[in-house]
Amino acid sequence: MVDALNTEFELTDAEMHLYARQILLDGWDIEAQEKLKFSDICIIGCGGIGCALAELLARAGVGKITLIDPDTVEISNLQRQLAFTPQDVGFYKAETLAKRLQQINPYVQIEYYNQAISIDNAQVLIQHQDLVLDGCDQFETRYLVNQTCRQFDVALISASAIGLQGQLFMVEGDSACYNCLFPQEDQTDTAMRCADSGVLATTPNVMASLQAHHALLYLGLGKMPLRQKLLLWDGQSMQQRILKFEKDTNCPICQAR
C-alpha cells in the first residue's frame, strides 16, 4: 500500500517531459516539482492578477488550484485579463478561467466557485489549503481572507495593482498580517479599485508574475523572501523597493490567534 501511494505522487513520464526545463534548474529538482504536484492552492479573484497568476501556476505544475470569483467577464476586462476573449463576455470568470487552465495542463486539478468569498464560506474554502493567493480588488474581502488564513495558519501571498503601481507581501506563521500593515480602522476609501481609478494593462500582469514566482519558491523550495516584507513596484519609474514591517502588538487579528 505504501509503495502504491508513493507511486501515485511520483511524476509520470509525461509530466517529467512537460516540466523538464524547471527540473533542469540548479536548486530545483524532481523533489521540488513533486511538492508542487501535491500542493493545494486557492486563488481569490480571477481578474487582472488572478488570470495570469492561475495560468503561470497551472503551467508550472501546481497540483490543485481552486478559483473563487463571483463576477462575469465584461468587455473592459479584456484590456488586461489575459484568459478572456470577446467570446467570453457575459460568462463567469472563474468557470471560464478553469476551462482554460484545464486545456493548458490536464495534469492539474481545477475547482471553481462562481461566488464571492464571504464569512459564510471562507473557513470551508481556506482551512485545508497549503497557500492562498489574494489578487482581488475589494478591501473587505482582503481583510476577511487575511483573518481566515490567520485563524487556520494558512500562508497568504497578497498582491494588488492599480494605475502603474503594485504591492506584494506574504503572511505566514506568526508573522505580521495584512491588518498589521494596513489597519482596517484606517481605511477610509474602501471603494478605490482599478474599475474606479484605472490601471495600465501591464501592471496587474507584472504583479501576477511576481506573486506566482513567490508562490513557486514557497511551495517547491520552502522559501519566503517577502515574509513580513512589502514589495513596492513603480511602473512609471521601473523601480522596486522592499520594506520591512513589524507586527502590531495591538492588532485584533494577530491577538485573537
How is 11-61 classified by DSSP, letter by letter? PPHHHHHHTHHHHTSTT--HHHHHHHHT-EEEEE--SHHHHHHHHHHHHHT
Q: How confident is the model at residue 1 (pLDDT cuts 50, 70, 90)?
A: very low
pLDDT of residue 7: 44
pLDDT of residue 196: 66
The pTM (predicted TM-score) of the whole model is 0.93
What value does the mean pLDDT take over residues 32-50?
97
pLDDT of residue 190: 52
Class of domain 25-256: alpha beta
The identity of residue 66, as a single letter, is: T
Top-confidence residue, 257 or 66: 66
pLDDT of residue 185: 83
What value does the mean pLDDT take over residues 220-247?
97
Whether the predicted pLDDT of 33 surpasses 80: yes
Per-residue b or e along 207-239, where b marks 16 or more CB atoms closer than 10 Å to that residue's CB:
bbebbbebbbbbbbeeebebbbbbbebebeeee
pLDDT of residue 186: 76
Q: How confident is the model at residue 8 (pLDDT cuts 50, 70, 90)?
A: low
What value does the mean pLDDT take over residues 200-217?
98
Whether the predicted pLDDT of 189 surpasses 90: no
Whether the predicted pLDDT of 162 surpasses 90: yes
What value does the mean pLDDT take over residues 74-90?
97
Whether the predicted pLDDT of 6 surpasses 50: no
Whether the predicted pLDDT of 256 surpasses 70: no
pLDDT digits (tens, 9 = 90+) for 132-159: 999 998 999 999 999 999 999 999 999 9
pLDDT of residue 255: 79
Question: What percentage of the chain has pLDDT greater than the value 90?
Answer: 87
Top-confidence residue, 255 or 147: 147
pLDDT of residue 5: 36
| Number of helices (H), then strands (E), in the chain | 12, 8
